[in-house]
Amino acid sequence: MITIRLHNVSKTYGSGKQSVRALTDVSIEIPSGEIFGLIGYSGAGKSTLLRCINLLERPSAGEVWVDDVALQRLGKRDLQQARRKIGMIFQHFHLLHSKTVADNIAFPLKLAKLSKAQRQQRVQELLHLVGLAGYEHKYPAQLSGGQKQRVAIARALANDPTVLLCDEATSALDPQTTDSILDLLLQINRRLGLTIVIVTHEIAVVRKLCDRVAVMANGRVLEQGPVAEVFLAPQHDVTRQLLGIAAPHGTVDTTQEDTVATAAGEPPMSAAARLHVACAGAQANQPVLAEVAAMTNTTYTILRGTVDTLKDTPFARFTVLWNTGSQATLQAVVDALRARGCQVEIQGTTSPDTPIQAEAEVTV
């Protein structure tokens, strides 16, 4: 089931010479209960897109559907009602400083006209959910950044929304606090089945939290899909930059990188290719590179590498200098990696006089 559907959404701020085109023809579908990341550099249009989901910004064109309701077609009162089912949290929390934690959380409940007894009970439930039991009488100024964001999350969840929008929710927090807030969002997603959309410029947030991701630049979605797919085979330079992967061209300058592993004592051959190798799932935990080197009687040096998880999926990627010596052997290495489910890209050669395959790209 699809909870959020954006169809050809465009947004222009202002008019005439002052106008800024923030979004162009964005179409996204977000399945129920998933965590969806919007990632991109500053000015890409992420926040604008997020704010179009609850019509805090009205799209200049296109349609926004949440829970099968076309929001732009609603009158004021119905839109207010629909927005109660779409919670939102912000980078700077947006708490009411003159009100206690309990009153902050109860605020949307008051707007929804719940009785005092109902509000008190719901506030207690929410305080427990976000790990702030006993904090009801504190004021925001008495809380840490992480605690303030927990209050904001409790407030956003007060009316039992089906959707939670998070605009750079951890960008003002230190890494440890960021981690605890991301854990809380994961827990809420799993316990309540909430659909979460999270805007971030941090790849680590997507890696830890998201099921799907859309990469944005210049108001457009460059690519989108399950996180493992997008991270395994990035199609755009912006995605590569965010992932810290070099562009697939140029000769190799090994002095720029740390050698973290070297195949046992072999002298380098006259020609080598720099390969970017990535794999997800069970293969990420297998000694795939060593197997392929043994099979093809070649050696390699890992220039860079990470073995990590994408939410629950193991994920490994390496930049490797592979001593192959000939085009045929290089092809054998690539084929063998491919047969093991790896994504392989040839990024260049160490031998400019006899290039193996400059600027070639092999997608497997």
| Surface-to-core class of residue 26, CB atoms within 10 Å of its CB (0-12 exposed, 13-18 middle, 19+ buried) | buried
Q: Does 13 bind ligand ATP (CB under 6 A)?
A: yes
Among the residue ranges 36-44, 120-128, 156-164, 308-316, the one whose residues contact ligand ATP (CB under 6 A)? 36-44
Q: How many CA atoms lie within 13 A of 185 on its CB side?
A: 35
| Residue closer to ligand ATP, measured from CB, 241 or 283 | 241
Terminal alpha carbon distance of the chain: 31
The candidate with the shortest Cα–Cα distance to 356, out of 326, 323, 329, is 326
Among the residue ranges 13-21, 229-237, 253-261, 281-289, the one whose residues contact ligand ATP (CB under 6 A)? 13-21
- Looking at 1, 15, 16, 42, which residue binds ligand ATP (CB under 6 A)? 42
Q: Does 58 bind ligand ATP (CB under 6 A)?
A: no
| Residue closer to ligand ATP, measured from CB, 199 or 337 | 199
- Looking at 9, 37, 40, 205, which residue binds ligand ATP (CB under 6 A)? 40
Among the residue ranges 42-50, 140-148, 155-163, 328-336, the one whose residues contact ligand ATP (CB under 6 A)? 42-50
Instruction: Find out whether 231 and 314 touch, Cβ atoms under 8 Å.
Output: no
Among the residue ranges 40-48, 146-154, 298-306, 311-319, the one whose residues contact ligand ATP (CB under 6 A)? 40-48
| Residue closer to ligand ATP, measured from CB, 56 or 233 | 56
Q: Does 46 bind ligand ATP (CB under 6 A)?
A: yes
- Looking at 28, 44, 196, 288, which residue binds ligand ATP (CB under 6 A)? 44
Order of all β-strands in the sheet with 35-39 = 86-90, 163-167, 195-200, 35-39, 212-217, 220-226
What are the residues whose beta carbons fall under 8 Å from the beta carbon of 260, sequence distance 6 or more?
302, 303, 304, 305
Each residue 15-34 as x (binds ligand ATP by CB under 6 A) or -, in order, gives -----x-x------------
Q: Does 43 bind ligand ATP (CB under 6 A)?
A: yes
Site size for ligand ATP (CB under 6 A): 13
What's the rounded Cα separation, in Å, for the pair 179 and 12?
A: 35
- Looking at 99, 138, 201, 304, which residue binds ligand ATP (CB under 6 A)? 201
Q: How far is the CB of 67 from ligand ATP (least distance, A)?
A: 24
| Residue closer to ligand ATP, measured from CB, 106 or 173 | 173
Among the residue ranges 46-54, 73-81, 259-267, 347-355, the one whose residues contact ligand ATP (CB under 6 A)? 46-54
DSSP 42: T
Helix (H, G, I), strand (E, B) or coil at 344: strand
Helix (H, G, I), strand (E, B) or coil at 307: strand
What would the two tokens of residue 54 be? 């609850």
144-174 as b/e: b if 16+ CB within 10 A? ebbbbbbbbbbbbbbbebbbbbbbbbbebbe
Q: Does 70 bind ligand ATP (CB under 6 A)?
A: no
| Residue closer to ligand ATP, measured from CB, 42 or 256 | 42
Secondary element (H or E) of residue 47: helix 46-53
- Residue 275: beta bridge partners? 320, 346
What would the two tokens of residue 72 be? 């732009």
- Looking at 3, 28, 39, 48, which residue binds ligand ATP (CB under 6 A)? 48
- Looking at 3, 30, 36, 45, which residue binds ligand ATP (CB under 6 A)? 45
Q: Which residues form the interface with ligand ATP (CB under 6 A)? A: 13-14, 20, 22, 40, 42-48, 201
